[in-house]
Structures are given as C-alpha cells and as structure tokens.
Amino acid sequence: MDIVAEFRRGGPAMYPLLALSILALSVIFERLWFWLRMLNREGLIVERVLEAARENWGLARDIAQRATDQPIGRFLYAPLSLSKNDPESFRLALEATAEDELTGMRRGEKLLEAVIALAPLLGLFGTVWGLIQSLRAIKIGDLGTEATAGVTTGIGESLISTATGMVVAITSLVFYRLFQAFIFNQVQVFRKAGNELELLYRQSPPTDINVVDSEAPTVLAPETKNSGVSSPRRRGKNKFGEPYEAPAESKPIDSENI
C-alpha cells in the first residue's frame, strides 16, 4: 500500500490530522521517557532516605539533595531543607511540594485531550467534504450507468480521513489513560513516603543537629560556676550532719547611711 497516495486520497483534512498525530507522538514519547526514568529509581530513593532518617537526619537530607533531579527526591528534600523545625512546617512543605510535582507530571495532558477531541471531528469533516465533492459530480442522466462507479470510489476514499482520525484519537486515548494511571500511582507513593517520613520526624525529631546544616556546632550552655553569678543561699551540712543554710553574702556597708 502506498501511504503517500492514500494520504492524498484522504482529502484536505489529512493535513491537520498529520499535525495532530505528530504533536501527540511527541508528547507520548517524551512522557514515556520521563516515566521510565522516574519509576526505575523511585523506590531506591525512598528506601535510602527513610533508612537514613532513622539514624541521622543530616544524612537523609544529603541523600535527598543528591536525588533532586527526580520528583520524589525533590519531594523528600523539601521538608528536610527547612530552617524551622516544627511538625506543622514539615507537613506544609510535603503537601506543597507534592502538589507542584504532581502538576509537573501532568504536563502534556491538555494536548492529548485536544487531540482526542479534535481528531475524530476532523476525520468526519474530511468524509463529509469528500461526500459533497462526490455527489456534486453525479448527474441525473448518469444514474444507473457506469458513470456513477467513480462516485462510489470517491465515497470510499473519503472515508480514509475518518479512519485516520479514529486511529489518532484511539492511540492518544490509550496513552492518556496510561499516564493517568501512572499519576494515580504516584499520588499513593508520595502519600506513603510522606507519611512515613513525617512519622519518623515526630518520633525522633532532630534536636542538636539542624536539618539544614548538619555540620553546625552545638551551642552548649555556660556553666554556672563560670558565669560569675552566685546563688544567694547555699544549702549544706554542718559537722553534726544536720542541714543548714549559709547566709547570703553581705553587702558593703555604706558609711553615709550609718
């Protein structure tokens, strides 16, 4: 079958159908590459970050930071990079990042939806246009003669655009539903990973190590004996073993008040 010849027989509607098919194929191949790369590494990233978070929050942050080229890495790194350590900020960072990443995963959906809606209509338009052109060629005196055989052939050729439109729409719909299933699965993965990370955070929140800078030194409180401040009374025991209270330190005598 000569594809170019069949394309020309389909009429003028074949050209916009060709443009729609090219756009749909570009989106399909780009999304397939995106999902294949992401699904191959996603489980390993989640496992390593959660395992590290059970022992060292700074290490978990570093692992998530190295995986920020993936949506799941950016999702897990967002709460770990906060400078304010509280459960509410932790949860808000997870929710906001999940929303942004899921929106990015839906890239190309609107184009596929447009192709699914327009391709059958363009195919139908090509068929109607071909029928109009074929019926115009019919003359009343030619009815029942061999002259009408060409009209039948023209009607058959005009159906090529309808078939092409249906093929483009069906192909786009199949991959559109496939990508929708991937996104639904990602919602479950993000929810499970976020809940586990938040649970670990609530069980053992970072105290002396800041989540943002794990190498920052811990500031120790100064000892009381070096502060230069003495308590007004010190409790102790006398030589008989009975507790007593030492008097407060005496203040200097002001000679003017005597």
- The three-state (H, E, C) secondary structure of 203-222, written as one string: HCCCCCCCCCCCCCCCCCCC
pLDDT in tens, 66-106: 999 999 999 999 998 887 778 888 899 999 999 999 999 99
Count of Cβ atoms closer than 10 Å to residue 127 Cβ = 22
Counting beta carbons within 10 angstroms of the beta carbon of residue 247, is it exposed (0 to 12), middle (13 to 18) or buried (19 or more)? exposed
Q: Please name the residue ranges forming H helices in the chain.
A: 3-9, 14-53, 57-66, 71-80, 87-105, 109-136, 149-203
Q: Is residue 13 part of a domain?
A: yes
Label residue 251 by pLDDT band (50, 70, 90): very low
- Residue 155 corresponds to which amino acid? I
What is the token pair recorded at 18?
Answer: 């060709």
136 or 21, higher pLDDT:
21
Q: Taking the model in full, what pTM does it have? A: 0.70
Q: Is residue 96 part of a domain?
A: yes
Q: What percent of the chain has pLDDT over 90?
A: 46
The closest alpha carbon to 200, from 92, 85, 73, 53, belongs to: 53
Q: Is residue 109 part of a domain?
A: yes
Taking the C-alpha atoms of residue 33 and residue 45, their distance in angstroms, rounded to an integer, is 19
- Mean pLDDT, the chain, integer: 78
Q: Is residue 195 part of a domain?
A: yes
Taking the C-alpha atoms of residue 48 and residue 59, their distance in angstroms, rounded to an integer, is 10
Q: Is residue 254 part of a domain?
A: no
In this prediction, residues 36-56 reach a mean pLDDT of 91
User: The tokens 């120790």 sit on which residue?
Assistant: 220
- The CA distances from residue 112 to 31, 33, 37, 123, 184, in Å, are 11, 16, 21, 17, 17
The closest alpha carbon to 174, from 17, 16, 26, 28, belongs to: 28
66 or 130, higher pLDDT:
66
Label residue 158 by pLDDT band (50, 70, 90): confident
DSSP-derived pairing of the beta strands 235-237 and 243-245: antiparallel
Q: Is residue 181 part of a domain?
A: yes
Domain range for residue 197?
3-118+172-203
Q: Is residue 252 part of a domain?
A: no
Label residue 237 by pLDDT band (50, 70, 90): very low
Give the pLDDT confidence score for residue 140 in this predicted structure. 55
Cβ(212)–Cβ(81) below 8 Å? yes
Q: Is residue 141 part of a domain?
A: no
User: How many independent structural domains does the chain possess?
Assistant: 1
Taking the C-alpha atoms of residue 205 and residue 197, their distance in angstroms, rounded to an integer, is 11
Label residue 9 by pLDDT band (50, 70, 90): confident
